[in-house]
Amino acid sequence: MKIATFNVNGIHSRLPRLLEWLGEAQPDIACLQEIKTSDDTFPRDAIEGAGYQAIWHGQKGFNGVAVLTRIGSELVERRRGLPGDPDDTHSRYLEASAHGLVVASIYLPNGNPQPGPKFDYKLAWFERLLEHAASLYASEQPVLLIGDYNVVATDGVADIYSPASWKNDALLQPEARAAYRRMLGQGWIDAIHHLHPDKPIYTFWDFFRNRFGRDAGLRIDHLLLNAAAARRLEQAGVDRAVRAREKPSDHAPAWVVLG
DNA sequence: ATGTCGGCAAAATGCCGA
C-alpha cells in the first residue's frame, strides 16, 4: 500500500504533472496541498480520467487540500478543518478514512515574514494540530498525518542543504521546530527520517536562484505515522524526478509503502 | 535586497503569497 503527499502549487497549472505522476507512481492514496482552487472548479473529471476519486477542501487563489484514492476503493471524509478556531477561513486540513487507514492532508501555514501575525498564525495552527494529533495517535487504526509542514526539523544536511541563507525564515525558527518536536514527542514517526536518518532526501527546492539545479533543497514535506502505521512501514522516498520536469511544482511528491 | 512562480483583479501589469 503506497501513500503519497504532493504540494502541487496550483492544481490547474500543475494538472499535466499531477496526472503524469499518478500514472507512474500509482499511489493507493495521494494527499495534495496548495490546490489553489475553489471547490466548484476542482478538476474532478481529469482526475477521474486518471482512475482516481477525490475529496477536496478548496479555497479561491490560496491553500486548499485534497485526498485521492483509486476509483472503487474506500474514501470517506472524516473532518475538514482543525477544531479549535471557528473563525479560521484557511483550507489546510482534510481527514479521511481510506483502505482501513486514517489519513490527513496537511498544509501548515508558511509563517513568513517572521516575526509577525503570519508567524503567530502558524504557531497557533500548529497548537491546534498538536491537540488534534494527540487524540488521533492513540487510535488502534493506522493513522498518517502527511503533507507540507513548512518546518525544517534541524540544520543538518539531511534536512537542508545549508541553513545560512534561511536562518531568518519561518521554516527554521526555534518555535516552529519545537512544535514539530512535540509532534514526535507524542510518538509520531517521521517516516523518511526513520528509514533514512542521515541521507539528504529533500522535498522542496525554491524556484529562486536555480536551487533545484544546485540541489539546494529542504525537507519540509513530512509523513508522520502513529504506532499502528509505523509497525507496517516498509519503504519511504521522494519522487524527485518530478521536480525536474517542465513547469514543475517547487515540491516533489513524498511517499511511504506500508505492508 | 534579490531572484521565480501561481493566481487574482482587471485591464496587461501589479498585487499577494510562497
**Residue A37 in 3-state DSSP?**
coil
The average pLDDT across A140-156 equals 98
Which nucleotide is closest to A204, CA to C1'?
A: B18
Q: How many angstroms separate the CA of A36 from the C1' of B8?
A: 11
Residue A84 Ramachandran class (φ > 0 left, ψ -120 to 50 alpha, else beta) = left
The average pLDDT across A235-251 equals 98
Note the pLDDT of residue A22: 98
Q: What single-letter amino acid sits at A247? A: K
Give the count of domains, chain A: 1
* Strand B bases, protein C-beta under 7 A: 1, 3-9, 17-18
**Secondary structure letter of residue A105 according to DSSP:** E
Spatial distance between the Cα atoms of A36 and A20, rounded to a whole number of angstroms: 19
Q: What single-letter amino acid sits at A1? A: M
Beta-bridged to residue A55, according to DSSP, are: A67
The average pLDDT across A43-47 equals 98
Angle at A11 between CA A165 and CA A133, to 5 degrees: 70
Query: In whole numbers, what is the pLDDT of chain A averaged over residues?
Result: 97
Q: How many angstroms separate the CA of A219 from the C1' of B13?
A: 35
Note the pLDDT of residue A128: 98
Q: How many angstroms separate the CA of A12 from the C1' of B5?
A: 14
Spatial distance between the Cα atoms of A244 and A180, rounded to a whole number of angstroms: 29
Q: What single-letter amino acid sits at A259? A: G
- Residues A224-240 pLDDT 10s: 999 999 999 999 999 99
Cα Rg, chain A, nearest whole Å? 17
C1' of nucleotide B5: residue with nearest CA: A207
Domain boundaries, position A48: 2-258
Strands A2-7 and A29-33: parallel
The average pLDDT across A157-186 equals 97
Spatial distance between the Cα atoms of A53 and A75, rounded to a whole number of angstroms: 8
H-run or E-run covering A56:
strand A52-57
CB under 7 Å from any atom of strand B: which residues?
A: A 9-14, 36-38, 60-63, 109-110, 112, 118, 165, 207-209, 247
Q: What is the DSSP string of A175-218?
A: HHHHHHHHHHHTT-EEHHHHHSTTS----B--TGGGTTTTT--B
- Residues A59-97 pLDDT 10s: 999 999 999 999 999 999 999 999 999 999 999 999 999
Spatial distance between the Cα atoms of A217 and A237, rounded to a whole number of angstroms: 15
Beta-bridged to residue A224, according to DSSP, are: A145, A190
CB neighbours (10 Å) of residue A157?
A: 13
Residue A200: band (very low, low, confident or very high) from pLDDT cuts 50, 70, 90: very high
Spatial distance between the Cα atoms of A51 and A65, rounded to a whole number of angstroms: 19
Residue A85: all three cell numbers together:
478556531
Q: Measured in Å, how far apart are chain A's first and last C-alpha atoms?
A: 6
The average pLDDT across A100-109 equals 98
Which nucleotide is closest to A207, CA to C1'?
A: B4
Residue A120: band (very low, low, confident or very high) from pLDDT cuts 50, 70, 90: very high
The average pLDDT across A151-170 equals 97
Cell 536551487 identifies what position? A211
CATH code, domain with A90: 3.60.10.10
Closest to A253 measured CA to CA, from A24, A12, A13: A24
